[in-house]
């Protein structure tokens, strides 16, 4: 069976307790996940 890329992310509740914190972390995660997806996709094509 092939290895399946995976990740576990934990964010402290106090960092996402208000709308501003949620927006900040959503943007951070989106950027990181987009980069990770590109790398995984490139590796699969190689």
pLDDT of res. 34:
94
Q: For the chain, what are the domain ranges?
A: 13-45
Q: Is 41 in a helix, a strand, or coil?
A: helix
pLDDT for res 46: 76
How far does Cα 28 stand from its chain's mean position? 8
Torsion over CA: 19, 23, 29, 34 (sign): positive
Q: What's the pLDDT at 7? A: 83
Q: Two tokens at 17?
A: 């307790």
pLDDT given at position 9: 93
What pLDDT, on a 0 to 100 scale, did the predictor assign at position 41?
87
pLDDT of the chain along its 46 residues, tens only? 778 778 899 999 999 999 999 999 999 999 999 999 899 888 878 7
7: closest CA among 24, 29, 26?
29
């Amino acid at each position: 069976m092939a290895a399946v890329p995976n990740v576990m992310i934990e964010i402290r509740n106090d960092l996402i307790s208000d709308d501003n914190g949620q927006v900040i972390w959503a943007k951070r995660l989106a950027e990181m996940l987009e980069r990770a997806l590109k790398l995984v996709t490139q590796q699969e094509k190689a």
